[in-house]
Amino acid sequence: MVMVPISVFIIARDEADRIGGTIQAVRDLTDDLIVIDSGSTDGTQAVAEELGARVVFNPWPGYGPQKRFGEDQCRHEWLLNLDADEELSPALHEEIKALFAHGEPPCQAYGIKIAEIYPGETEPHPFAYRIRPVRLYHRDAGRYSSSLVHDRVDLKPGTKVGKLKGLIHHRSVRSLGDQIAKLNVYTDQLAVDLEVRGVSIPTWRVYVEFPAAFIKAYFGRLHFLRGTYGFLIAMNYAIWRHLRLAKHYERKRLNAQARPNKVEPA
């Protein structure tokens, strides 16, 4: 078995039901597989260790900081980041092996398509919504943003970025209810992030965000091709976009009420 000179790092909490597939899809690629756990109570740590991962505990500091912590645990110069609900497709697995087969890759970072897989599906729908963030990169090319809510790799100017053809399969939805619970917590964090950054979104957006987000998801992201489940996922997307702005508005309202009344000069 020939290992690829990359470190794979995964952030996780209570992912015992999903992280096994994530690890199994990469464990023969690398000799440096790290899971950064922020306090799982469902046995995630044991599942990861049994499959050969090195588990490191770090209290949850936010998405960006947790992934930066993960970068610091890696031994190799090339890093591959996966979430605990993502799996390399067989085609992507072979593509990464081939990329390193003849030495250093020609680019310093690579965008990889991530395709959603919904409950009841075994592989991505041909028209599944896809994004292509940088997930494979040389540590000298950049590192994850320090943002508490946005986990993206901030690359140095001039970094040469390539594109891989294979897919990461994203099993982000356990159930519709679980998705709503997850997004409810996430929108709390988003509202705080807007406040910390001093961003103020106009109140009129509250009235149009839900229908606009539904149209974006249902038609723009082609969820209408996924039948009834696609409709329901589009509704959940619209709900979380609405909650983000609703909580932002509420925080602004409460903060305004908490300020002492200004005394006009005589």
Query: Can you give the pLDDT at residue 210?
Result: 97
pLDDT single digits (tens) 60-79: 999 999 999 999 999 999 99
Mean pLDDT, range 1-9, rounded to an integer: 87
Q: Where are the alpha helices (DSSP H) in the chain?
A: 19-24, 44-50, 63-73, 90-99, 176-196, 205-215, 227-258
Q: Which of 179, 156, 163, 69 is nearest to 113 (CA)?
A: 163
pLDDT single digits (tens) 104-115: 999 999 999 999
On whether the CB atoms of residues 152 and 144 are closer than 8 A, the answer is yes
Provide the whole-model pTM: 0.89
pLDDT single digits (tens) 133-186: 999 999 999 999 999 898 899 999 999 999 999 999 999 999 999 999 999 999
On whether the CB atoms of residues 80 and 27 are closer than 8 A, the answer is no
Q: For a pLDDT cut of 90, what percent of the chain falls above it?
A: 88
pLDDT band at residue 2 under the 50/70/90 scheme:
low
**What tokens were used for 7?**
């470190």
Q: Which DSSP state fits 265?
A: P
